[in-house]
Amino acid sequence: GRCIPATWICDGDNDCGDMSDEDQRHNCANRNCTAAEFTCANNRPPLRRCIPQAWVCDGDADCGDALDEHQNCTRRPCTENEFTCSNGLCIRTTYRCDRRNDCGDNSDERGCIYEPCQQHQFTCQNGADR
């Protein structure tokens, strides 16, 4: 098989191609983050638990609940291609009304009118279409 650095085990990326570097035998859910990483406390696999500190307050929500963007961040103004969330976060305008909580406070999904799922689609219990 492919050789990868040991630091890539449980990093949330499918480096091996078969998820063997992210599976249960490594106890990824209980991995402790290093000093150079930020802990996404509420992330569940397959979402990454540890992210680089440089990703904290970068305007992009990397933790599932956007915890990395709620660390007393100084916000930059959003560009014309971005939607300004109620919490000050900037997300792509294409992420608005996509049935996903991209802002972390659900403000990108407020006031949206959603089309019902088509016959060949499945309505997920969380409201997202697939």
Choose between 49 and 46: higher pLDDT: 49
Residues 21, 9 contacting (CB under 8 angstroms): yes
pLDDT reported for residue 125: 63
Task: Delineate the domains of the chain, giving CATH numbers in brackets.
Answer: 1-74 (no CATH), 75-130 (4.10.400.10)
pLDDT in tens, 1-15: 678 888 788 777 788
* Cα 36 from Cα 34, distance rounded (Å): 5
pLDDT in tens, 69-124: 888 887 778 999 999 999 888 889 999 998 888 888 999 999 998 888 888 877 77
Q: Which two tokens stand for residue 13?
A: 């990326």
Instruction: Report the pLDDT averaged over residues 47-76.
Output: 83
Choose between 41 and 1: higher pLDDT: 41
